[in-house]
A and B are shown apart, each in its own frame.
Chain A
């Protein structure tokens, strides 16, 4: 048979075959599942949502013609309720690091599809089958530059605990994560020997700092606001919140040494309506140029380490990926197992009269 000259019957047969292939789904080459009218992405909202729209969602909508609907806030309880009841509204959701690990184990998530999402440029620790690491953030020291002038700020957790040499009201997060680690480091435990956490030792060290902590913060905006109002002169906080007020000219700077690194994550709930397109969105989140746009907005860089090459030189000093060696990674695995115990001990410690 001459392949160049197909008669009508042969042509119809070929087309039929192709259609059948298409119907069989994404396993066969280029054919894609039908495009939904919209893709629902759940995230923390606020300035993060604005940056995600600018860096990722607008491009996605243009490329595929699928409307991206954003919802918030991130809520692990709601995720579980959705999956359990079979009524999953989110195609993709942001999720906390240790929650993501527990959710994967509890069968609440779909795996990230390696055929759609290329994570070859990601560090090995950021390749969990259920969890897409979208960004890095860190809890570090923010300080008033009018109080600690010319590099006189505390430069370690031992310094933070030294209230004679570094006087002034402090604020720390009302949560065991970060603080247990900071206490152990201040007490002389090396950064790579923190886990498993020695609760007794950590809380004993925390007892020393308790009278000097004016505010135990519970929302991310608080530490930045407390520094702005000079309610405190030293605060632990998430780097992006400090970056935001520094950009606006606040007399505040960041000390990066011994910061607690964590990854921001996205995952696909099991039973999501358009899992294929959710994976396509993750592929969009993995593009280094787009990650650079996002990082410049918020100070939270992506984990595609190539993205640092696309960031403005003025922004780079405010990105935690620039100081990976000075800092340490919070163990999501450890908290997935011990988080509840840690929270109970923390509450009891907080109620204890100092």
Chain B
């Protein structure tokens, strides 16, 4: 009891901050959606094919981005946590530097690299690998590349942290007892770093859901995410009740996915 209270008081300022600047505005925003006393806006959000389809697209993109970030981020985080201090520092510089650059700048940089006459396509064509430019930009591929690049640090850092926390004696013991590398990875490293993987996936997934400028610019207008439609309702249509309803649906769907993911991963680590 006493210890939980002493843990509570230092957190109070942060809690008040969250209450005033996060929870209160969210509740107010949700209030807009039922202002008229009916659920009409929710019926529109869930009843019209357009919004459900865009919501589905959004989750699909977020899932794929999370998957690719994991595939790229786990080896990178693992390597950074187990290599020499010099290479670990180099790794940090390369992972963190893009994080401090504006998303807009990075998105335009991808446009230069991936275009029909961009750096990649010119290299491929001059090397004789293709005769026509490969469509890397202004489509789904472009959006995936851009988003994975922006979000990769959010996957790498938690995984790095998790790998660092593992006592090196445990995998060493497994090796001493004759386990293969593959077996050590699946039976020792994976369960022990699952917390980091979970944290990274949730971060990347949730941030992906709100992405706006990268899909708009790299998708050539064809890839529509729910944030774009919410923004249209807020700024163009000035229909705030409907924007609030769409946001509430997104929030609920996000919580649902989060809870599901937790079910799948937490029992292993909580023990």
Among A106, A219, A339, A344, contact of B217 (Cβ-Cβ < 8 Å): A219
B164-203 contacts to A (CB < 8 Å): none
Chain B's closest residue to A171 (CB) is B220
Q: Please report the C-alpha to C-alpha distance between residue A343 and residue B54 in the assembled complex, in whole angstroms.
A: 14
With A215-B220, A218-B221, A230-B116 in contact, do A344 and B238 touch (Cβ < 8 Å)?
Answer: no
Q: Please report the C-alpha to C-alpha distance between residue A230 and residue B115 in the assembled complex, in whole angstroms.
A: 9
Q: Please report the C-alpha to C-alpha distance between residue A225 and residue B117 in the assembled complex, in whole angstroms.
A: 12
Residues of the B chain whose Cβ atoms lie less than 8 Å from the Cβ of A169: 116
Does B236 sit within 8 A of A, measured CB to CB? yes
Does A75 sit within 8 A of B, measured CB to CB? yes
Does B138 sit within 8 A of A, measured CB to CB? yes
Does A72 sit within 8 A of B, measured CB to CB? no
With A229-B117, A344-B50 in contact, do A77 and B229 touch (Cβ < 8 Å)?
Answer: no
Does A231 sit within 8 A of B, measured CB to CB? yes
Among A80, A214, A231, contact of B117 (Cβ-Cβ < 8 Å): A231
Residues of the B chain whose Cβ atoms lie less than 8 Å from the Cβ of A77: 234-235, 238
Residues of the A chain whose Cβ atoms lie less than 8 Å from the Cβ of B111: 225
Does A348 sit within 8 A of B, measured CB to CB? yes
**What is the interface size of chain B, counting residues whose CB is below 8 A from a CB of the partner?**
27
Residues of the A chain whose Cβ atoms lie less than 8 Å from the Cβ of B115: 229, 231
Contact between chains at B54 and A351 (CB < 8 Å): yes
Q: Please report the C-alpha to C-alpha distance between residue A343 and residue B116 in the assembled complex, in whole angstroms.
A: 30
Chain B's closest residue to A340 (CB) is B237
Residues of the A chain whose Cβ atoms lie less than 8 Å from the Cβ of B118: 229
Does B141 sit within 8 A of A, measured CB to CB? no
Residues of the A chain whose Cβ atoms lie less than 8 Å from the Cβ of B116: 169, 229-231
Contact between chains at A76 and B54 (CB < 8 Å): no
Contact between chains at A214 and B220 (CB < 8 Å): yes
What is the distance, in angstroms, from A162's C-beta to the closest C-beta of chain B?
22
Does A24 sit within 8 A of B, measured CB to CB? no
Residues of the A chain whose Cβ atoms lie less than 8 Å from the Cβ of B117: 229-231
Residues of the B chain whose Cβ atoms lie less than 8 Å from the Cβ of A217: 221
Contact between chains at B53 and A343 (CB < 8 Å): no
- B residues lining the A interface (CB < 8 Å): 49-50, 53-54, 57, 111-112, 115-118, 137-138, 216-217, 220-222, 224, 229, 232, 234-239
Q: Which 10 A-B pairs have the closest CB atoms?
A: A216-B221, A174-B221, A77-B235, A215-B220, A340-B237, A218-B216, A77-B234, A348-B50, A215-B138, A231-B115
Q: A229-B116, A343-B232, A347-B229 are in contact. List 7 more A-B contacts (CB 8 A).
A: A76-B235, A76-B238, A214-B138, A229-B117, A230-B116, A231-B116, A231-B137
Identify 21 residue pairs between A and B in the complex whose beta-carbon atoms are under 8 Å apart, listed by A's number. A76-B235, A77-B238, A102-B238, A214-B220, A215-B221, A216-B220, A217-B221, A218-B216, A222-B217, A229-B112, A229-B115, A229-B116, A230-B117, A231-B116, A231-B137, A340-B239, A347-B54, A350-B221, A350-B224, A351-B53, A351-B54
